[in-house]
Copies of this chain bind each other. A is one copy, B any other.
Amino acid sequence: MLKPKIHTMEELSSAIGVSRPTLSRYFQDPSKVSRTSANRILSGLERVDYTPNFFATRMNRKTTGMIGVIIPYLNDLFFTRLLESIETAAMQAGYTVITQCSHADPAIEKRAAETFLSMNVDGAIVAPLGNHSDLQVYERLNDRLPFVLMDSRPDTLSDVDFVGTDHLQSTGAITEYMCRVGAPPVFLAMPRVNFNALEREAAYIKKMNELGFEPRVIGVDPIDKHDHFEGHGLAVLDDMFSRQELLDASFLCANDRVAIGALRAAAKHGLEPGALRRGGLRIAGHDDYPLCPFMTPTLTTVAQDVTAIGQAAVDRLLKKLRGENIDNNQVILLINGALKLRESA
């Protein structure tokens, strides 16, 4: 890099003969400056190496152009897909996304929220940690910022906007499907890492009752808080199959990662789950994890519309931070899931 480094706008100003305030306006929006000035600046920037200081600009602007996003896990393709759709939507709207991962730790989540506040982000989107998370963190963000909760909803929070999947619909749909084409499913719960775990369980029970079947839930050890879903599914069903129980049952797993573990347990015991073999073992999941089509057998599931959720969360946030939030009501946006019928159920 041969260009001389210039550190401040002041220097740049005297280097290319354009006043500093004009430069300031140029860097915020080139169209706010006359054609001639813009050209002079542009050609000047080709001779020197200068970038406005990120912090100095952000400190003084009334709007930082940044939105903060907190997700609980990074090692989960569901959340990374969600993140991607948020980043895409935000980028299109001209916003920069700052991502923080709470690593399933309420303390980290709280710190991340404080960081966002101290950065004056224009708004924040959070996928909550779960039932061991500190709801005051969300309330505080909601009080101070345009704020949207995503994916999983603590039902005790009354004034917070939310975007997520309609689990009553999605879990209901797959429950109904399973009942229709085979034995009524047993629900294989997942570690209660978030509120969705309970919502799906409740949705399953409700649908089963509606259809006149007896719901049956294989619960989880409440101590078991870790997020190793596949391991959980494998361990529970391995144990079950070893005792020769439920060898030809239908399983609806609380999510696909649990289902992947379940598939493994089946294979380990020489069982071949599948929709095609009526009367035999069946396994289905929830989410449409990207690997579902590559499992053996391919995994039947309900897709969460990740793109729509991310897009809607950003849309709602933008509406709020642009002051278009005319009616100050809480908005809860529930998006339908779509059945993905494959081989396993």
Question: How many copies are assembled?
Answer: 2
Check if A278 is an interface residue, CB within 8 A of chain B. Answer: no
Q: Write out the residue numbers on chain B whose beta carbons fall within 8 Å of the beta carbon of A295.
A: 264, 295-296
Check if A31 is an interface residue, CB within 8 A of chain B. Answer: no
- Known pairs A263-B294, A294-B263; A119 contacts B55 (CB<8 A): yes
| Contact in complex: A54, B118 (CB < 8 Å) | yes
Query: Restricting to A33-53, which residues have a CB under 8 Å from any CB of B?
Result: 51-53
Check if A59 is an interface residue, CB within 8 A of chain B. Answer: yes
Q: Write out the residue numbers on chain B whose beta carbons fall within 8 Å of the beta carbon of A298.
A: 264
Closest to A262 in B: B294
Bound-state CA distance A98–B68 (Å) is 12
Bound-state CA distance A144–B92 (Å) is 30
| Contact in complex: B1, A140 (CB < 8 Å) | yes
Query: Restricting to A293-320, which residues have a CB under 8 Å from any CB of B?
Result: 293-298
Q: Write out the residue numbers on chain B whose beta carbons fall within 8 Å of the beta carbon of A296.
A: 263-264, 267, 295-296
| Contact in complex: B75, A230 (CB < 8 Å) | no
Of A77-85, A239-247, A330-338, which stretch is located at the interface? A77-85
Q: Write out the residue numbers on chain B whose beta carbons fall within 8 Å of the beta carbon of A114.
A: 51
Check if A99 is an interface residue, CB within 8 A of chain B. Answer: yes
- Known pairs A77-B75, A101-B87; A291 contacts B230 (CB<8 A): yes
| Contact in complex: B51, A59 (CB < 8 Å) | no
Check if A223 is an interface residue, CB within 8 A of chain B. Answer: no
Taking A264-B293, A291-B291 as given, write out 14 further A-B residue pairs in contact, using a Cβ cutoff of 8 Å, ordered by the A residue number: A1-B143, A51-B117, A51-B118, A52-B118, A53-B59, A55-B55, A56-B59, A74-B80, A74-B83, A230-B293, A261-B294, A263-B294, A295-B296, A296-B296
28 A-B contact pairs sorted by A residue (CB < 8 Å): A1-B143, A51-B118, A52-B118, A53-B59, A54-B115, A54-B118, A54-B119, A55-B56, A55-B59, A55-B119, A56-B59, A59-B59, A74-B80, A75-B81, A80-B80, A84-B101, A98-B98, A99-B99, A230-B290, A230-B293, A260-B291, A260-B294, A261-B294, A263-B296, A264-B296, A267-B296, A295-B295, A296-B296
